[in-house]
Amino acid sequence: MALAAVGALLLGGCDSAEKTSIERLAQPVGATDRTDAIHSLWMGSWLAAMLVGVLVWGLIIYACIAFRRRRDDEIPVQTRYHLPLEILYTVAPVIVVLVLFYFTIVTQNDTLAAASPSGKADHTVTVVGQQWSWTFNYDKDPALDGKTTVFEAGTPANRPTLELPVNKSVDIKLRSADVNHSFWVPAFLFKMDVIAGKVNHFSFTPDRTGTFVGRCAELCGTYHSRMLFNVKVVSESDYATYLKGLRSQGNIGPALGGSEIDQQNGLINEVQKNNSSTGAS
């Protein structure tokens, strides 16, 4: 009762945003159709941890009180082991781990499921991580003519914005132009590694409009902390207008690497070409 009273007192001094954060155990409110399953796993894991903690501390406190040594007590018999207790301490953690493992796998499968039974999303965006910003390619988007790819590229000084249409499925393809990065949007309750030489992908449907902060969650070099971006979920009409604006600016792709990477690759190709010519002569 005392603990509940203290909790109520603390919640009473918080605004609505802080109350929501406390009730969700510090997780932000989700912004996609995949976040409910992730949040349920988060809350269930905390519940399991709390129950185990209460049980363990309860047994410790009980043993300290019930079996404390009295003044005239003799020292109890010292045994090497207590078989039932040993079995309990072995079996109980295994059961807890297996249950958490099961729900983790179920949640993972739900989160990484295809956007639709056909496996094709309404929109496809190829995200390129590079030291130290992001490039967003809107691949042959139906909001244009279904044939043209447009892009937005950012820099550490000018964070880019990934615009997405609300209530439309999106397939995100992740590529790296240099080293490993990690694509993380806290409001999606999800992140995925961007691995050099490998294309990762995941699908989701944004279910509410708004602007959300994204960042790189993998230490990738000197300016890792400046590898920030925004995600803006808008209406379909605003999304189409945005893509047309990128096309009118000449941002026609695909753009799969930063300018430094493109220049470096050009120099390497030129050197290899010259070496081949020299060898042939």
The closest of 164, 154, 160 to 31, measured between CA atoms, is 164
The pLDDT tens digits for 142-191 are 988 889 999 999 999 999 999 999 999 999 999 999 999 999 999 999 99
C-alpha distance from residue 129 to each of 103, 171, 227, 256 (Å): 31, 16, 9, 9
Q: Say what the pTM is.
A: 0.76
Domain assignments of the chain as residue spans, ordered by start? 15-69+82-108, 123-258
- The pLDDT of residue 13 is 54
- The pLDDT of residue 119 is 76
The pLDDT of 89-106, averaged and rounded, is 92
- The pLDDT of residue 66 is 81
**Is 214 a residue whose pLDDT tops 60?**
yes
- The pLDDT of residue 83 is 81
Phi/psi for 74 (5° steps) reads -85, 160
Please report which residue ranges of the chain form alpha helices under DSSP H: 2-12, 16-23, 35-66, 83-111, 236-248, 259-280
- The pLDDT of residue 16 is 65
- % the chain with pLDDT above 70: 81
Pick the CATH number of 123-258 from 3.30.1380.10, 3.40.50.300, 2.40.30.40, 2.60.40.420: 2.60.40.420
The pLDDT of 18-24, averaged and rounded, is 70
C-alpha distance from residue 11 to each of 2, 6, 29, 42, 222 (Å): 14, 9, 18, 21, 41
**Is 59 a residue whose pLDDT tops 60?**
yes
Q: Which amino acid is at 145?
A: D
- Top pLDDT among 125 and 257 is at 125
| 88 Rama class: left (phi>0) / alpha (psi -120 to 50) / beta | alpha
Phi/psi for 127 (5° steps) reads -100, 125
Q: Which amino acid is at 241?
A: T
- The pLDDT of residue 76 is 67
Mean pLDDT score of the chain, rounded to an integer? 83
**Is 212 a residue whose pLDDT tops 70?**
yes
**Is 41 a residue whose pLDDT tops 70?**
yes
Rounded CA gap, 197 and 104, in Å?
Answer: 28
Rounded CA gap, 4 and 146, in Å?
Answer: 57
